Amino acid sequence: MWYRPLFSSKLCYCRKYYTWTNALRLHSYSKPLIGNSFSRSALLLSFKKMSVFTSQLNPITGKMEWELQPENYDFQQEVARSAYADMLHDKERNDKYYEGLRKSIADLRRRGQEVHVLDIGTGTGLLSMMAVACGADSVTACEAFYPMAECARKQIIKNCCADKVRLVAKRSTELEVGPGRDMERKANLLVAEVFDTELIGEGAVETYRHARDFLLTEDALLVPSEGTVYAQVVESKMLQRWNRLQPMKKSSVDGTDKDVLVSIPRSVEECPGAAAVHDLQLSQVPLKWFTPISKPLPVFWFDWSGRKRDIYCDETTRIKFQTQASGVCDAVLMWWDLRMDQDGEVMLSCAPYWAHPDVVDRPKRSSEDIPWRDHWMQAVYYLPQPYNVEEDKSLTLLSMHDEYSLWFNIQGDLSEEVCEDRPVCECGLHIVSSRTRLGQLNDPRRIKKYIQVLEKHITPGSICLTLGDSCLMAIAAAKLGARHVYVTEGPSTKKVMQEFIRVNNVQNKVTILPADISDISPEQLMAPVSIVFSEPFFTTSLLPWHSLYCWYMRNSGLHLIADGAVSLPCAVTIWGLPVQFRDLWKIRAPLHQCNGFKMDIFDNLIAKACEEADDKVEPQPLWEYPAKAKGHPVELLKIDLSTSIPDNPVSSSGSVTLPEAGIINGLALWVDWHMTKDLEDTFSTGPVEPVLLNQNVSWDVYTRQGIYLLKQHVNISDQEHKLFYSTIFQPNDGTIKFEFQIKV
């Protein structure tokens, strides 16, 4: 459900990476804001030995370093921050597994067989307990992740299923079959929920191949029995913003080529992009963002028994389709469904609402018509090259998968050579930039604001210093007429920046400095810096305020900056908004029970881990998660960035009366960067339209905002309630702590 095989390159992008990273910040780098020895970290559990690795991006060499953690490594954070709770809140999933089990066990009984179940990846033990309730004679529940196996053991005892279930804390591929071993005999029913957004990303191919060969009888039934992957080719300039860099134009939106301020190197333009899946809530993507070029096409079919059809580790399929529109094939949208029983009466689909089989016939549909889930989303795969087509032409979609990932390509006619290899970034930019970051670099709203600010200040005599990762505003500043621009880049972003400098012909005007500018002496610059421009973004920024790092960076270069120099941004405001999340609250809410089985031990595990986490705020791309405003934005803390870093904490607290607006279950948090004191120069990472009470908020889609979930949902109806807030920024370690309380 939520961990990935070792060394999967998907880690760089997939949602869960950020979840882990956030959790691991507590373990591996507890100082998000200060110092320049930032590390990107990820947690990996080796499939083989259950060893724990954390990885760090060495800022000096730019290489990933893997570190084996001690055996008593605390996993609680990972469990708490994983999608586990949300998965168990997924009623449709639970019900359909239950139904699949019920039908399959009845089938086996009709055959006159005893029922011996294997539950691979039992998690909390839920599916094993369901099998017992459906009358299974015996169940072997295996779970590779030790802390969950422990939880399952206790939960199974609590639900009085222990006499029928044998728990084995092992990966299924290590199970031994035979009298006195892990499994007395081969199982004739396999239930497993080892799927992720990409279906096979959690290792389902190997898990099922091995089960067929070693753990199951020849006529075993499987729940689910089959899986189908669907793909739809689309044109989408909006989705491409997360993948392919566009030239930066001065009049950003509809400028002509003459307006191009920053050109893109060919290596970047022609790069096939990042191999990694872009997982997202497709039902939240506005329909106007894309034009379908194909219908949804079934591209892969997995028979999990491996008997009707082998389960391949590598596969290519070719599906012919008629184009529905002329345009550019930019990307492929992907989702899958599972056949839960043997005959296809119980289907579980992850399709977005506009393609969902349960609602596809309704004239009016919305994301609210289908069950919400976050543990399985949908995905976008960018084609290695955009492909131009006319309407009503015949094209072929090539779909490829290996053991863990999918990728796609388009073929016009059969004589055309098409690359079937997994796309790999060749330019470097996709390696060092997250999708969020690529989106920012393409975001007309940001670009416009930055250019507006630079234009106000740059004169022919300006010496600029730009801070940020892959900060293309350095090139823009040179083109806008600055005398010289110094840009700081770490070793991993330096090469790409050099390319940008070359193609934009500003070699004489732009100089790259190392990310640590404290060692640079003033003599190395042609004159003291008169404008410091920080683009508030760093590859290590998970929460919006992590980009305060630019302040620390600037502080380390004070000796290079002239008295009276202009500092952009000059201040930052942290905002909070009381909201009612339509669904997102489920990721931390206790379950109490699932389908009649007690879940208190699991609930306690999550609650304890959340309690121990000193960071109550986590990043989420809020445009994907509908939330209604239940008040007005509250200014929580304003920090003046024009000074040097203070010694003492900066804090603020207060209270506001909340309007009568129903349920509040959390707060959304973001920052406004005040580039100058002029209001029109403020750039917000929060709402992009005015916030209206009880209306859904429209968020900046190129930022992960912060969320703070209330333990108790509050209903504001008859009595007057107040929101009490307190925010403390500790300059010495760069942490920001939030406290919220809603009281009568």
Q: Which of 23, 79, 271, 276 binds Zn ion (CB under 5 A)?
A: 271
- Residues 254, 256, 258, 262: what is their CA dihedral angle, to the nearest 10 degrees? 50
Piece in contact with Zn ion (CB under 5 A), picked from 73-81, 312-320, 428-436, 437-445: 428-436
The residue among 142 and 425 lying less far from ligand SAH, judged by its C-beta, is 142
Sign of the dihedral through C-alpha 510, 514, 518, 521: negative
Total residues contacting Zn ion (rule CB under 5 A)?
Answer: 4
For 699, phi then psi, to 5°, come to: -105, 155
Which of ligand SAH, Zn ion, none sits in contact with 89, Cβ below 5 to 8 A by type?
A: none
Can you read off the two tokens belonging to residue 540? Answer: 């290590």
Rule CB under 5 A: say whether 497 interacts with Zn ion: no
Rule CB under 5 A: say whether 438 interacts with Zn ion: no
Q: Which amino acid is at 732?
A: N
Piece in contact with Zn ion (CB under 5 A), picked from 430-438, 483-491, 623-631, 681-689: 430-438
DSSP labels, 361-414: T-SS--GGGS---SSS-EEEEEEEEEEEE-TT-EEEEEEEE-SS-EEEEEESST
Q: Give the relative orientation of helices 126-133 and 91-110 as an angle to the nearest 10 degrees.
A: 40
Q: How far is the CB of 122 from ligand SAH (least distance, A)?
A: 5
> How do beta strands 484-489 and 510-514 pair?
parallel
The residue among 149 and 617 lying less far from ligand SAH, judged by its C-beta, is 149
Q: How far is the CB of 407 from ligand SAH (least distance, A)?
A: 22
Respond yes or no: is residue 226 known to be catalytic.
no
Distance of CA 638 to the CA centre of its chain: 29
Which of ligand SAH, Zn ion, none sits in contact with 427, Cβ below 5 to 8 A by type?
A: Zn ion
Which residue number has the CB closest to ligand SAH?
121
The residue among 87 and 671 lying less far from ligand SAH, judged by its C-beta, is 87
The residue among 87 and 229 lying less far from ligand SAH, judged by its C-beta, is 87
Three-state secondary structure call for residue 501? helix
Q: Which amino acid is at 540?
A: T
Closest by CA to 661, choosing from 587, 724, 719, 584, is 719
Can you read off the two tokens belonging to residue 3? Answer: 């961990």
Rg value, the chain, Cα: 27
Which of ligand SAH, Zn ion, none sits in contact with 126, Cβ below 5 to 8 A by type?
A: ligand SAH
- Residues 662, 665, 667, 668: what is their CA dihedral angle, to the nearest 10 degrees? -90
Give CA–CA dist 413/415, Å, rounded.
6
Whether residue 167 contacts residue 125, with contact meaning beta carbons closer than 8 Å, is answered with: yes
Rule CB under 5 A: say whether 427 interacts with Zn ion: yes
For the chain, the first-to-last Cα distance in angstroms comes to 40
Strand-by-strand arrangement of the 116-120 sheet: 165-168, 138-142, 116-120, 187-192, 216-223
Out of 78, 99, 143, 202, the active site residue is 202
Q: Which residues bind ligand SAH (CB under 6 A)?
A: 1, 87-88, 120-124, 126-127, 142-145, 148, 171-172, 193-194, 202-203, 207
Q: How far is the CB of 241 from Zn ion (least distance, A)?
A: 15
Give the total residue count for the chain. Answer: 744
For residue 178, CA distances in Å to 93, 142, 164, 218, 221 come to 32, 16, 17, 16, 20
Q: Which of 4, 244, 430, 630 binds Zn ion (CB under 5 A)?
A: 430
The residue among 44 and 565 lying less far from ligand SAH, judged by its C-beta, is 44
Respond yes or no: is residue 78 known to be catalytic.
no
Out of 78, 99, 193, 624, the active site residue is 193
The residue among 120 and 285 lying less far from ligand SAH, judged by its C-beta, is 120
Q: How far is the CB of 385 from Zn ion (least distance, A)?
A: 12
Which of Zn ion, ligand SAH, none sits in contact with 410, Cβ below 5 to 8 A by type?
A: none
Piece in contact with Zn ion (CB under 5 A), picked from 276-284, 293-301, 429-437, 681-689: 429-437
Rule CB under 5 A: say whether 546 interacts with Zn ion: no
Q: How far is the CB of 193 from ligand SAH (least distance, A)?
A: 4
Which of Zn ion, ligand SAH, none sits in contact with 634, Cβ below 5 to 8 A by type?
A: none
Q: Point out which residues pair with 249 in neighbouring strands.
A: 260
Which of Zn ion, ligand SAH, none sits in contact with 271, Cβ below 5 to 8 A by type?
A: Zn ion
For the annotated catalytic residues, the residue numbers are: 193, 202
Residues that bind Zn ion (CB under 5 A): 271, 425, 427, 430
